[in-house]
Amino acid sequence: MDEKSYYSRLLVAFLMVLCFGVIVLQYVCPTSDCQLLHLASLSSRLGSRAPGDRMNGAGAGDPYSSEDGALVRFVPRFNFTTNDLNRAVDFNIKGNDVIVFLHIQKTGGTTFGRHLVRNIQLERPCECHAGQKKCTCYRPGKRDTWLFSRFSTGWSCGLHADWTELTNCVPSFMGNRESQERRRTPSRNYYYITILRDPVWRYLSEWRHVQRGATWKASKHMCDGHSPTLSELPSCYTGDDWSGCSLEEFMVCPYNLANNRQTRMLADLSLVGCYNLSVMSERQRWAMLLESAKRNLRNMAFFGLTEYQRKTQYLFEHTFRLSFIAPFTQLNGTRAASVEVESETQRRIRELNQWDVELYEYARDLFLQRFQYARQQERREARQRRLQERRKLHAKVKPWWGVTGKAVFKPTKEPPMTEQSPTFSEEKRVDAGQTLESETEGQVEDNWLEEDDSETILDYLENVEQWR
């Protein structure tokens, strides 16, 4: 009985310690995201590979290999240059470089913004505290931020600032935060990033958000040094907000900024007179905005798509050489997805957002081509590494194959020479031996190269199948 009671007390004590640990974890890190990161970090310390890490090359150890199969039915529509597709940048987090996140409403930017401050493996992780929205993201050894976003610097350039606002505001804002000594250092590199979403579902998501009382009244819409007047940007509702509005009411307002929001927020509004609609015709205005948005999107360091979470994670990691701790999750159960919309209504939404539809098709094509280009580049680098390893192995085992200067000479058309021949000198024997050794080594190298060429052919055939 004494032994049983001893083990019972020991079990009770263990359970009490476990419950106490769970309570402390909930207090220190109440959010599920934070707990997930702790678990991922723990598994990494125990020797398992973090989901964000990639092994060399593609294969069973590659967490993104399953994403390659999704490109089978992808047919590219646009021709992009190598510079458009290769977006890997030399981001120096210890220097002056800054990532600037352009957050467009209802594109999943809040989730991605949290990934930036909570889910990246860093030498000096961002300091995030429970109950506070903003995190402190300092560079290693400095009190200087490397990230300009909602969850790091707040809405410092205005609520949901667009491309026009950010490009005019961010450099001066970051300059004002620097000390006199820091201002003498070379100018910063600003790497702009954003997230896009299918226009129809983004529009429906914004309607549901506005229906619940969202207004974004704090948005400045700064352009050419001033905000738009009430006549340039009238309101769609009277009162404090537009809560309870129907989808029909949301769609019929001609001043609704939800219409083609992604195109407008990514374009240079100065090109069309900002919000002054009398400068040019509506169609000419939107055509210019669309071309500007495409150009800015193409030149951004990175952009992701809400509908492709894992590819978005891969391209960010590939672009900035940073790894996420926990993998991105594809969530399809959004509020917009729960809305039952008739096909006719969806068609009308697409017409209202025709410029966003065109921009998204362009962005999707560029995004998928960038993903495929990056994967092919990664496979080529893996093949080069394997080839170098084989050459090193060949150099070590070459004596075992008998590849030396004493190997048998190849027969030639000329009669063989002997040591008694007057023209056969010691010098020529040495030269012949060196020539034979180089020829034999060249043959072996050719064998290695032929093996690598076969892999290249297989990779090419694989890519042809994907592009059909």
pLDDT at 50: 40
pLDDT at 1: 53
Both structure tokens of 247: 């989808």
Range of the domain at 97: 64-384+441-462
* Residue 46 belongs to some domain of the structure: no
User: Total structural domains in the chain?
Assistant: 1
* Residue 313 belongs to some domain of the structure: yes
Q: What is the mean pLDDT of residues 60-87?
A: 85
Q: Which of 254, 293, 251 is nearest to 277 (CA)?
A: 254
Judged against a pLDDT cut of 70, whether residue 447 lies above it is answered with no
What's the sign of the alpha-carbon dihedral 349, 352, 358, 359?
Answer: negative
* Residue 155 belongs to some domain of the structure: yes
pLDDT at 10: 79
pLDDT at 22: 64
pLDDT at 403: 54
At 107, the pLDDT band (50, 70, 90 cuts) reads very high
Cα within 13 Å of Cα(389), Cβ side: 7
pLDDT at 93: 96
Per-residue pLDDT of 276-297, as tens digits, reads: 999 999 999 999 999 999 999 9
Distance between first and last Cα of the chain: 75
pLDDT at 179: 52
Per-residue pLDDT of 226-242, as tens digits, reads: 999 999 999 999 999 99
Cα 114 from Cα 152, distance rounded (Å): 10
pLDDT at 11: 81
pLDDT at 31: 45
160 tagged catalytic:
yes
At 24, the pLDDT band (50, 70, 90 cuts) reads low
Which is the catalytic residue, given 103, 115, 129, 160? 160
Per the model's pLDDT, the better-predicted residue between 453 and 105 turns out to be: 105
pLDDT at 7: 74
Per the model's pLDDT, the better-predicted residue between 317 and 47 turns out to be: 317
Cα 304 from Cα 385, distance rounded (Å): 29
* Residue 53 belongs to some domain of the structure: no
Q: What is the mean pLDDT of residues 249-267?
A: 97
β-pair partners for 195: 304
Judged against a pLDDT cut of 80, whether residue 335 lies above it is answered with no
* Residue 51 belongs to some domain of the structure: no
Q: Which of 257, 268, 267 is nearest to 203 (CA)?
A: 257
* Residue 417 belongs to some domain of the structure: no
pLDDT at 5: 74
Q: What is the mean pLDDT of residues 14-18?
A: 82
pLDDT at 74: 87
What residue has token string 């093996």?
451
Per the model's pLDDT, the better-predicted residue between 39 and 89 turns out to be: 89
Judged against a pLDDT cut of 50, whether residue 51 lies above it is answered with no
* Residue 458 belongs to some domain of the structure: yes
pLDDT at 17: 80
CATH code of residue 265: 3.40.50
Per the model's pLDDT, the better-predicted residue between 361 and 7 turns out to be: 361
* Least confident interval from 54-58, 212-216, 324-328, 413-417: 54-58
Give the whole-number percent of the chain exceeding pLDDT 70.
72
Q: What is the mean pLDDT of residues 174-196?
A: 77
Mean of the per-residue pLDDT values for the chain?
81
Per the model's pLDDT, the better-predicted residue between 194 and 132 turns out to be: 194
At 430, the pLDDT band (50, 70, 90 cuts) reads very low
Cα 86 from Cα 290, distance rounded (Å): 23
* Residue 35 belongs to some domain of the structure: no
260 Rama sector, left if φ>0, alpha if ψ -120 to 50, beta otherwise: left
Which helix (H) or strand (E) is 191 found in, with range? Answer: strand 190-196
Judged against a pLDDT cut of 70, whether residue 32 lies above it is answered with no
Both structure tokens of 389: 């390893």
